[in-house]
């Protein structure tokens, strides 16, 4: 009897926040977080920032077990725009996250009287569930920030040394913003509340992840935010770490497929060292390879097919947000030597004067960059310079007229 060989599995998992089969690099960033866990009095919180596709969400998830090993409690979620509409919504978001963890924790008799409960049955049944926390919150006079400060202090008193501290980890924190026109300041409230709590020597630590616009937004809301946070900027992987991200998942799975050295170098070059793109390209390679192997075709996958799919899946939607004139401006930007790092208004103006098209004025460039920032294509850093907000977008723009080499795969004997 002839047994069919098991199907070849694809070890790669591209996706928003999906844990890769092997987390390459990021040791230095992990060590920075571990150092913060050693704080008894919180002097530094963490901001984990970088472009989309660098692995912020994935790295944040790896921090969670490290915190738990050090006896910290982990409270975290994505920050949605709904949760940040006003201060009340954001406070409720925080209380909801805490209630999920502590809903079975019975409030001690030393603190139960603060809730106004008098009967024995009430005292026996009172836990740190959502109803209890909301009762404390609503029963506290003052502004929303006053209510939240008191409730957080109440929680810490109830825990009575049960844990070392609580990490409040919020992803997509760039969604936080004050609404001056509506007299709502959820971002300022968050900073004010945690600065007050930490000055009371309560070990509640913030870990925020977000796009590079996050830290300037925090400093604009409260200037002391610059002293509250240790900023860790996630960049592309080093070539050695990129190589591990490509090869180790294949090795760990014992796959019958291997990549030759030329193929590995091409994946690194095309991905730019960005973890998401490494996963995407390798995933597409293996899917194509598995199909070709089943059809008895040569084990060769053209890079241009994969890049074309990447362009359609990742870049096309973002590129469609730009007008024709904005695309002309971005086409000028990618001609600059510093396009892949940062660029200025004046550099774009000077470059436009060298082109055969109608040149851009300084005011026009300012206006268009503001519009492109609102569309999520560029962002302005704290030094007044601009950068692409989408990784490898410059390559995508250049690639419109470029040809891509072919990637070959070989079967492991």
pLDDT over threshold 50, residue 93: yes
CB 16 within 8 A of CB 23: no
pLDDT (average), residues 329-353 = 90
What are the tens digits of pLDDT across the range 140-168? 999 999 999 999 999 998 887 888 999 99
pLDDT of residue 306: 85
Give the three-state DSSP class for 380.
strand
Range picked from 54-58, 68-72, 80-84, 254-258 for highest mean pLDDT: 68-72
CB atoms within 10 A of CB 80: 12
How far is residue 379's CA from residue 370's CA, in Å, rounded to a whole number?
Answer: 8
pLDDT of residue 6: 56
When the candidates are 3.20.20.210, 2.60.40.10, 3.60.70.12, 3.40.50.300, the CATH number that belongs to 27-233 is 3.40.50.300
pLDDT (average), residues 120-149 = 83
pLDDT over threshold 70, residue 127: yes
pLDDT of residue 296: 47
pLDDT of residue 252: 82
pLDDT over threshold 90, residue 102: no
pLDDT over threshold 70, residue 302: no
How far is residue 412's CA from residue 260's CA, in Å, rounded to a whole number?
Answer: 10
CB 168 within 8 A of CB 77: no
Residues 6+ apart with CB under 8 A from 183: none
Confidence label for 116 from pLDDT (cuts 50, 70 and 90): low
pLDDT over threshold 70, residue 175: yes
Helix H, strand E, coil C: the string for 156-225 is HHHHCCCCCEEEEEEECHHHCCCEHHHCECHHHHHHHHHHHHHHCCCCEEEEEEECCCHHHHHHHHCCCH
CB 8 within 8 A of CB 278: no
What are the tens digits of pLDDT across the range 30-45? 999 999 999 989 999 9
pLDDT (average), residues 81-102 = 87
Confidence label for 413 from pLDDT (cuts 50, 70 and 90): very low
Q: Calculate what percentage of the chain has a pLDDT beyond 70.
A: 87
**281, burial (CB in 10 Å: exposed 0-12, middle 13-18, buried 19+):** buried
pLDDT of residue 113: 58
pLDDT over threshold 90, residue 241: yes
Give the three-state DSSP class for 378.
strand
Q: 234-247 in b/e burial notation, b at 16+ Cβ within 10 A? A: bebbeeebbbbbbb
pLDDT over threshold 90, residue 201: yes
- Give residue 102's Cα distance to chain centre: 27
What are the tens digits of pLDDT across the range 386-411? 999 888 898 898 876 454 454 544 44
Report the range of poorest mean pLDDT among 45-49, 88-92, 123-127, 324-328: 123-127
Report the range of poorest mean pLDDT among 67-81, 296-310, 355-369: 296-310
- Token pair of 181 as six digits: 């026109």
pLDDT (average), residues 72-93 = 85
Give the three-state DSSP class for 311.
helix
Q: Whole-number mean pLDDT of the chain? A: 84
pLDDT of residue 110: 58
pLDDT of residue 293: 57
CB atoms within 10 A of CB 311: 15
Between 281 and 3, residue with greater pLDDT: 281
What are the tens digits of pLDDT across the range 47-77? 999 988 888 998 999 999 999 999 999 998 8
Crossing angle of helices 362-374 and 345-354, in 10° steps, is: 120
* Nearest by Cα to 212 from 236, 231, 189: 231
pLDDT of residue 341: 86
């Amino acid at each position: 009897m002839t047994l069919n060989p098991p199907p070849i599995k694809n070890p790669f998992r591209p996706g928003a926040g999906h844990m890769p089969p092997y987390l390459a690099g990021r040791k230095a960033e992990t060590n920075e977080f571990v150092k913060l866990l050693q704080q008894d009095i919180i002097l530094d919180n963490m901001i984990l920032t970088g472009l989309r596709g660098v692995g912020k969400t994935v790295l944040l998830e790896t921090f969670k077990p490290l915190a738990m090993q050090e006896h910290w409690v982990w409270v975290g979620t994505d920050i949605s725009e709904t949760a940040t509409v006003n201060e009340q919504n954001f406070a409720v978001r925080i209380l909801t996250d805490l209630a999920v963890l502590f809903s079975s924790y019975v409030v001690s008799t030393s603190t139960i009287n603060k809730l106004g409960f008098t009967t024995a049955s009430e005292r026996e049944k009172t836990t740190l569930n959502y109803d209890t926390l909301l009762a404390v919150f609503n029963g506290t006079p003052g502004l929303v920030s006053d209510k939240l400060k008191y409730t957080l202090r109440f929680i810490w008193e109830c825990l009575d040394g049960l844990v070392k501290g609580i990490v409040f980890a919020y992803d997509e924190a760039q969604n936080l913003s004050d609404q001056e026109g509506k007299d709502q300041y959820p971002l300022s409230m968050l900073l004010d509340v945690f600065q007050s709590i930490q000055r009371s020597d309560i070990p509640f630590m913030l870990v925020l992840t977000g796009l590079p616009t996050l830290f300037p937004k925090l400093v604009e809301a409260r200037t002391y935010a610059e002293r509250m946070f240790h900023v860790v900027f996630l960049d592309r992987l080093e070539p050695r770490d990129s190589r591990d991200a490509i090869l180790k998942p294949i090795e760990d799975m014992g796959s019958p497929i291997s990549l030759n050295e030329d193929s590995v170098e091409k994946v690194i070059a095309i991905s730019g060292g960005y973890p998401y793109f490494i996963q995407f390209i390798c995933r597409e390679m293996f899917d194509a390879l598995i199909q070709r192997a089943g059809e008895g075709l040569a084990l060769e996958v053209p890079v241009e097919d994969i890049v074309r799919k990447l362009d359609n899946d990742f870049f096309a939607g973002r590129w469609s947000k730009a007008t024709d004139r904005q695309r002309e401006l971005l086409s000028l930007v990618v001609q600059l030597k510093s396009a892949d790092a940062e660029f200025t208004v004046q550099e774009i103006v000077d470059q436009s004067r060298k082109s055969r098209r109608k040149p851009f004025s300084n005011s026009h460039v300012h206006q268009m960059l503001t519009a492109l920032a609102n569309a999520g294509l560029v962002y302005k850093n704290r030094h007044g310079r601009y950068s692409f907000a989408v990784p490898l977008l410059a390559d995508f723009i250049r690639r419109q007229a470029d040809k891509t080499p072919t990637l070959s795969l070989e079967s492991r004997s």
